[in-house]
Amino acid sequence: PYKRGTAMAINGHVNGDAATPKGPNYERVQIINDEKQFIPELTQQIERWDLHSAGFDYDIVAVFGSQSTGKSTLLNRLFGTNFDVMDETRRQQTTKGIWMCRAKGMNVMVMDVEGTDGRERGEDQDFERKSALFSLASSEVLIVNLWEHQVGLYQGANMGLLKTVFEVNLGIFGKKTADGRNQRTLLLFAIRDHIGTTPLANLQATLTADLQKIWETLSKPPELQDRQLSDYFDLSFVALPHKILAADKFESEVQELRKRFMDKGREDYVFKPAYHKRIPADGVAFYMEGIWEQVQTNKDLDLPTQQELLAQFRCDEISAAALTEFNEQAKPQRRPIESGKVIENLGGMMRAWRSGALERYDRDASRYHQGVYKRKRADLVSVLDSTLSPLFLGQLKNLHKASLVTFKKEMLEGMRGENYNFAEVVAAARERCEKRFLDGAQEALVEGTDWNYEEELELLRNEIRIVADQCRKDETKKMVNAIERNIKKQISDPVEIWLNKPQPDMWDEILKVFRELLEKAESMYLTKAKSFNCTDEENETSLAILRKRAWLALRAKVDEQTTDAAFLTKLRTHFEERFRYDEHGVPRVWKPSDDIDGAFKKARDQTLELIPLYSRINPIDGTLEYSLPSEESDPLSSTDEFDFPATLVIFSETKILDLMSRFRRDADAYYVEAKRSMVSSVAQ
Ligand code: GDP
Ligand code: MG
């Protein structure tokens, strides 16, 4: 917002940065040029003067007075500066403007004002007023330089200047500062070419009275009517001998005066804390630029606003610098987090970066306007946290993933072998998994944020549950399969034996064996399932599956025994045993007297009776009747839908008729064969 001057004027003996040795240098810099422009090199210059990090531990002194009254000469002698002094041989005017220099051996910035004496020449009172405003707004001590012979000349040029100073002062400092105190400034009157006949005390009294008169004639704003000169100014006086006529004395008095600028222990030390304008050294340049801008545009110089603007500017700068360093620290961790890595000690690092950034900010910015400082601090905190938050969340996500992987691995390891307790394996793996997550998540927390890991923990717990459930289901399935295989093996022989021994209670015997096997299987399942923490419902499902599978195993074995071929063989055997053998098991040799027809019919009919017996699983003892609920499908093996009553039927009605007729044909063949055998034996 500030118009930058174009000319950079360093007329000093030191030139260029490259040659500048370490430590402070004492280059002179022009801050306002003869075009009344602010020259923005002051920031860097303050760094070169090594005052940049001085905080409040620095002072500013300015000078005020008529042209060619030896002001620059005095400053140079007092502070070891090198302001231009008018060349006596040529009586040449020095360049107009405001200059600044660092005092040798002190943390002091010295301002020298060069200007034409507007009042005498009737020109450019404007610059004089502006430079007075500018000096007052920034310096603690204003040296008012005047000849001894000007003292008491109430109408003289000096008094006019002082009136300007007072008016300006009321304009600037009439209002109290933000912290409620009056801004005070020391006016140090340097009475030059003091001859000595009039003692300093008299000169002092005259000047004080004159100042008082000026103060009273000042037109003050209504709200400041009753303000006294002493509300704003402390006055101090020093008399200096003629520099040329009493050179030695001049020099020793100046050296004496110098002590009042250096020795903090002295009672007459000039830089009292009350005079300090409370602008941190690193903000002085910006502050002055703002003041000059206001002065130039003839705006009312509102210092509280200036201080706030300064604070905003500087706090932003300081915050940005802290943020840059912080980002450099945080950036390298972003990629590994995004790629799924769990970063060791991430929380520790984040806390360090964050507090580091805030410490840096606090160190430099806390010197500025407190409201602004705090507001910008809150801004900084939220930027820091919004940078860290994705790292935190990423870390949580990665922790979650890594913990779950370990959980799965531990589950598999725990379930190796036969003798494990599933519930214990799950509990142990879950505990270690959650601990790993919680340890990592807690480490990653950063104080001062509202971060938490509850949500991620809940997600993790859910997934643990899902994985454990899946494991349990797999295990149950394996177990049910094993039990099923066992039943299959054990049911095989009894079924085969009983089905080859057709008798009315054949099914009763088979079902008795089946019941026993099933009961054993169910209790085996329940014993094992205890450690699985299965719910009653899950157990019910598993048992139902087990029952159905067992039944189907039985049914499969029955099918195998009742294929057409197998069954017809059984019938043939049964028939043969009755037709071709007598009741003693001796093969028959048919004789003509034998009732072949009767024997044939009897054996055939007895055999035909077997078909209905085999056609349906139908025990005589009703208590042995077995039943299962029919259902759509088996959730574990997803076989087709299951219709229990249908499984009781071995042969359908048509199948029965088919088997009967096929058997009859077989039997008929035996009959014909018996007849033939008899005919042939008779023929022999
Ligand atoms: P400025 O314009 O007020 O800064 O005055 P300068 O420091 O440039 O000095 C103006 C002239 O006054 C120069 O020729 C100096 O040599 C001379 N001068 C400096 N100090 C004194 C002094 O104490 N007494 C007198 N009579 N002349 C001085
Ligand atoms: Mg000068």
Residues 6+ apart with CB under 8 A from 109: 46, 49, 51, 58, 59, 60, 61, 100, 101, 102, 103, 284
Q: How far apart are CA 151 and CA 156, in angstroms?
A: 9
Shortest CA distance to 75 belongs to which of 94, 93, 101? 101
Kindly state the percentage of the chain with pLDDT values over 90. 56
| Residue 246 in contact with ligand 1 by CB distance below 6 A | no
The residue whose C-alpha atom lies closest to atom 26 belonging to ligand 1 is: 242
| Residue 578 in contact with ligand 1 by CB distance below 6 A | no
| Residue 92 in contact with ligand 1 by CB distance below 6 A | no
**Residue 147, token pair as written in the block:** 């000849």
Question: What string of DSSP letters covers 599-614?
Answer: HHHHHHHHHHHHHHHH
The residue whose C-alpha atom lies closest to atom 1 belonging to ligand 1 is: 68
DSSP 632: S
Mean pLDDT of 567-579: 91
458: confidence class by pLDDT, cuts 50, 70, 90? very high
What counts of helices (H) and strands (E) characterise the chain?
A: 19, 7
Query: Is residue 20 predicted with pLDDT exceeding 50?
Result: no
| Residue 223 in contact with ligand 1 by CB distance below 6 A | no
Ligand nearest to the CA of 89: 1
| Residue 243 in contact with ligand 1 by CB distance below 6 A | yes
Q: How far apart are CA 394 and CA 406, in angstroms?
A: 18
Query: For residue 211, how far is its CA from the centre of ligand 2 (angstroms)?
Result: 24
Range in 321-330, 340-349, 631-640 the model is least confident about: 631-640
Query: For residue 4, how far is its CA from the centre of ligand 1 (angstroms)?
Result: 32
Mean pLDDT of 288-292: 90
Residues 6+ apart with CB under 8 A from 590: 596, 674, 675, 677, 678, 681
Q: How far apart are CA 3 and CA 305, in angstroms?
A: 19
| Residue 85 in contact with ligand 1 by CB distance below 6 A | yes
For tokens 């606003």, the residue is: 305
C-alpha distances in angstroms, 556 versus 492, 630, 632?
9, 17, 20
Mean pLDDT of 109-115: 90
| Residue 618 in contact with ligand 1 by CB distance below 6 A | no
Of ligand 1's listed atoms, the one at least distance from the Cα of 69 is 3
Ligand nearest to the CA of 68: 1
Query: For residue 70, how far is its CA from the centre of ligand 1 (angstroms)?
Result: 3
Query: Is residue 335 predicted with pLDDT exceeding 90?
Result: yes
Kindly state the percentage of the chain with pLDDT values over 70. 89
Of ligand 1's listed atoms, the one at least distance from the Cα of 68 is 2
pLDDT of residue 226: 85
Which helix or strand (DSSP H or E) is residue 63 part of? strand 59-65
Task: Report yes or no for ipTM above 0.90.
Answer: yes
3-state secondary structure of 312: helix
The residue whose C-alpha atom lies closest to atom 15 belonging to ligand 1 is: 70
Query: Is residue 586 predicted with pLDDT exceeding 70?
Result: yes
Mean pLDDT of 505-515: 93
**Residue 662, token pair as written in the block:** 């096929």
Query: Is residue 23 predicted with pLDDT exceeding 70?
Result: no
Query: For residue 604, how far is its CA from the centre of ligand 2 (angstroms)?
Result: 150
Q: Best of 68, 74, 111, 114 to mutate for ligand 1, by most ligand atoms within 8 A of CB?
A: 68
Shortest CA distance to 60 belongs to which of 23, 33, 96, 98? 98
Query: Is residue 488 predicted with pLDDT exceeding 60?
Result: yes
- Residue 646: count other Cβ atoms within 10 Å of its Cβ: 9
Mean of the per-residue pLDDT values of the chain? 86
Q: State pLDDT tens for residues 367-392.
A: 899 999 999 999 999 999 999 999 99
Query: For residue 523, how far is its CA from the centre of ligand 1 (angstroms)?
Result: 119
Higher pLDDT, 535 or 45: 45
pTM, entire model: 0.64
The residue whose C-alpha atom lies closest to atom 19 belonging to ligand 1 is: 70
Q: What is the largest CA-CA distance in the chain?
A: 191
Q: Is 673 exposed, middle or buried (0-12, 13-18, 19+ CB in 10 A)?
A: exposed
Query: Is residue 16 predicted with pLDDT exceeding 50?
Result: no
Of ligand 1's listed atoms, the one at least distance from the Cα of 76 is 7
